[in-house]
């Protein structure tokens, strides 16, 4: 039996595999090659492992083995596994062979993997001319063919190990992707915070309408298992960017989240999570997202005639789509159990005009539950501070809790991170719903109304620190003492200069 691999070893091995591409193409380009190869290697190792076990049991009955293999979680057609590609790595045409294998795997697995590999091509000119491309892909196959990356069930133990390695790669790619990182990555501590506050439980249907690579949904699934020790829940999502949607699909399978429905398309212009008739939006117990901040060209031109009536509180401004996502999410909440957490830029709290009118109606309908101010520079691709808005469909009072957690962070070279203590403080304060000096304030509806429905956290949480009083007599005494010390040093220096023959 092979010895189990630990998380650090697999993380290091998959990160080292990136060396093949470093200095040749950008990380934003090669991330899709690495992540897809990890997924293919996982499918192939698990499939080969199962095949070998069946051969040991039924070696003299190939028809039975074939029938049983066709019922595996994933089916690999003959010639399409990683190991088939690995054996031919020294021959010309690696790019074409990999693309053909991925296409065959898609075809063999029906709707489960439909279109997942359509936006990825290993046979691309981005890898250079044919000879260079073939060499790069040979090296990539050899990196993943090493013993350290044997991803069979016995070797990795829990599927979480592979899922965690996938998340590890996504995080590192986000760190080097600059402005585009926000399209597919939400920092894990923010995902943990949202999942903890929203408390998904057994039986919940959970949705992220701007799901990126799916990490927030996966955190919510893990929270159900933690809270209820149950896998009876369903994950739903939609993602506009095809390559990111593919990452989300692979991420789901690598975390064992087979009960998911992730659609590919623009949530605002073309919502796809609809009922069987396609006329009404599906509704969920938990809706959570980190949508793109202040998205320009979000679909303003068609919003006033939206067939799903999502913008009945008003149409958000043309160049800022924040309230378009908020409006969509509110309309997808179940009437009794619906709860929602969304990450937004601070402008959402106080901008006037159409946004102010939408914000006022949401508060007047008693949907807003909590406003949490986060530290600056938490998110890849933007340094601006963000906030989390918590909405609930079935509130028991009309108060709104404001939390200023902007100082609860560890400084990093490129990004700040929420501290463990900071996260616990936010969660405890959220649950207790009490005023905490210079940190949290429980506001009544009338107070918010008096503030013209402006939710700027500083209007409610007073973080002003009085400066210590200055004793001018003490300051003057200290100043005179320093002057006397300076005069003494000047005399001493003059003496040294005279001894050395310098004319003072």
**For 172-189, how does the pLDDT look when each residue is reduced to its tens digit (9 = 90+)?**
887 766 545 455 678 888
Q: Between 383 and 79, name the one with better pLDDT.
A: 79
Predicted pLDDT at 55: 86
Work out the pLDDT band at 466, boundaries 50, 70, 90: low
Work out the pLDDT band at 325, boundaries 50, 70, 90: very high
Work out the pLDDT band at 286, boundaries 50, 70, 90: very high
Predicted pLDDT at 35: 92
Q: By three-state DSSP, how is residue 179 classified?
A: helix
Work out the pLDDT band at 59, boundaries 50, 70, 90: confident
DSSP state of 207: E
Q: Is the dihedral of CA 310, 198, 390, 411 positive or negative?
A: negative
pLDDT digit string, tens, across residues 113-155: 999 999 899 999 999 999 999 999 999 999 999 999 988 877 7
Mean pLDDT across 70-92: 94
- Among the residue ranges 62-66, 185-189, 317-321, 468-472, the one predicted with the least confidence is 468-472
Strands (E), 93-220: 205-208
Nearest to 303 by CA among 318, 315, 317: 315
The torsion angle over the Cα atoms of residues 46, 224, 261 and 184, rounded to 10 degrees, is -80
Could you give the CA distance from residue 171 to residue 186 in angstroms, rounded to a whole number? 9
For 141, the token pair is 């196959």
DSSP assignments along 370-422, one per residue: EEEEPPTT-STT--S-EEEEEEESS-SSS-EEEEE-TT-EE--SS--EE-HHH
Q: Between 65 and 217, name the one with better pLDDT.
A: 217
- What Rg, from alpha-carbon coordinates, does the chain have? 29
Contact predicate 296/319, CB 8 Å: yes
pLDDT at 480 over 80: yes
DSSP state of 316: P
- Burial of 256 (C-beta count, 10 Å sphere; 0-12/13-18/19+): middle
Q: By three-state DSSP, how is residue 428 classified?
A: helix
Mean pLDDT across 101-122: 94
pLDDT at 342 over 70: yes
Residue found by looking up tokens 């998959």 in the block: 14
Q: Mean pLDDT for the chain?
A: 90
Mean pLDDT across 225-243: 94
- Determine what percent of the chain is predicted with pLDDT higher than 90: 64
Q: Is the dihedral of CA 224, 228, 229, 231 positive or negative?
A: negative
Contact predicate 84/41, CB 8 Å: no
- 278-to-235, 268, 299, 329 alpha-carbon distances in Å: 19, 15, 20, 17
Nearest to 328 by CA among 270, 386, 374: 270
Run of H or E residues at 287? strand 286-289
CA 377 to chain centroid:
15
pLDDT at 1 over 70: no
Nearest to 337 by CA among 285, 281, 389, 395: 285
- Among the residue ranges 33-37, 434-438, 445-449, 490-494, the one predicted with the least confidence is 490-494
pLDDT digit string, tens, across residues 304-322: 999 999 999 999 999 999 9
Predicted pLDDT at 418: 82
Work out the pLDDT band at 94, boundaries 50, 70, 90: very high
Could you give the CA distance from residue 331 to residue 58 in angstroms, rounded to a whole number? 54
Predicted pLDDT at 178: 54
Could you give the CA distance from residue 97 to residue 85 in angstroms, rounded to a whole number? 7
The torsion angle over the Cα atoms of residues 286, 290, 293 and 294, rounded to 10 degrees, is -20
Mean pLDDT across 245-263: 93
Predicted pLDDT at 393: 96
Could you give the CA distance from residue 218 to residue 206 in angstroms, rounded to a whole number? 10
Work out the pLDDT band at 442, boundaries 50, 70, 90: very high
Predicted pLDDT at 473: 83
Q: CB-based contacts of 409: which residues, under 8 Å, 6+ apart?
A: 375, 378, 416, 417, 418, 419, 422
Q: Is the dihedral of CA 417, 292, 244, 135 positive or negative?
A: negative
Q: Between 363 and 418, name the one with better pLDDT.
A: 363
Run of H or E residues at 237? strand 234-239
Predicted pLDDT at 62: 81
Nearest to 289 by CA among 228, 355, 239: 239
Strands (E), 71-223: 205-208
Helices 188-198 and 420-432 pack at an angle, to 10 degrees, of 20
């Amino acid at each position: 039996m092979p010895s189990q691999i630990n998380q650090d070893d697999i993380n290091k091995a998959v990160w080292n595999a990136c060396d093949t591409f470093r200095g040749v193409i950008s990380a934003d380009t090669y991330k899709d090659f690495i992540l897809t190869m990890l997924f293919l290697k996982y499918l192939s190792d698990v499939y080969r492992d199962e095949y070998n076990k069946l051969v040991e049991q039924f070696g003299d009955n190939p028809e039975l083995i074939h029938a049983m293999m066709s019922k595996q979680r994933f089916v690999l057609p003959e010639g399409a596994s990683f190991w088939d590609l690995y054996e031919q790595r020294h021959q010309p045409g690696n790019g074409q062979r990999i693309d053909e294998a991925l296409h065959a795997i898609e075809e063999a697995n029906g709707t489960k993997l439909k279109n997942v590999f359509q936006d990825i091509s290993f046979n691309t000119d981005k890898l250079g001319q044919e000879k260079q491309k073939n060499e790069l892909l040979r090296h990539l196959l050899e990196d993943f063919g090493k013993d350290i990356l044997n991803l069979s069930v016995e070797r990795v133990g829990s599927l979480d190990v592979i899922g965690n390695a996938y998340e590890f790669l996504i995080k590192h790619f986000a760190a080097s992707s600059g402005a585009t990182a926000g399209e597919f990555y939400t920092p894990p501590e923010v995902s943990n915070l949202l999942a903890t506050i929203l408390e998904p439980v057994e039986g919940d249907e959970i949705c992220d309408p701007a799901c990126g690579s799916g990490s927030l949904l996966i955190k919510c699934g893990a929270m159900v298992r933690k809270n209820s020790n149950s896998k009876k829940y369903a994950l739903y999502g939609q993602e506009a960017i095809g390559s990111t949607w593919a990452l989300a699909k692979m991420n789901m399978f690598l975390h064992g989240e087979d009960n998911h429905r992730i659609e590919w398309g623009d949530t605002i212009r073309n919502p796809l999570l609809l009922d069987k008739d396609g006329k009404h939006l599906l509704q969920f117990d938990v809706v959570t997202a980190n949508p793109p901040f202040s998205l320009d060209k979000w679909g303003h031109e068609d919003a006033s005639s939206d067939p799903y009536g999502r913008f009945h509180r008003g149409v958000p401004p043309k160049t800022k789509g924040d309230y378009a996502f908020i409006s969509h999410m509110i309309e997808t909440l179940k009437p009794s159990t619906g709860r929602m957490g969304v990450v937004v830029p601070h402008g959402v709290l106080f901008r006037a005009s159409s946004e102010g009118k939408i914000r006022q109606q949401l508060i007047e309908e008693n949907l807003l539950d909590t406003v949490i101010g986060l530290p600056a520079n938490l998110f890849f691709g933007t340094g601006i501070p963000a906030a989390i808005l918590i909405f609930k469909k079935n509130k028991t009072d009309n108060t709104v809790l404001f939390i200023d957690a902007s100082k609860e962070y560890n400084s990093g070279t490129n990004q700040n991170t929420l501290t463990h203590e900071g996260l616990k403080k936010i969660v405890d304060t959220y649950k207790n719903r009490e005023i905490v000096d210079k940190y949290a304030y429980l506001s009544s509806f009338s107070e918010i109304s008096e503030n013209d429905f402006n939710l700027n956290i500083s209007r409610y949480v007073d973080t002003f620190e009085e400066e210590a009083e200055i004793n001018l007599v003490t300051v003057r005494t200290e100043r005179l003492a320093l002057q006397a010390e300076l005069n003494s040093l000047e005399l001493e220096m003059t003496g040294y200069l005279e001894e050395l023959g310098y004319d003072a």
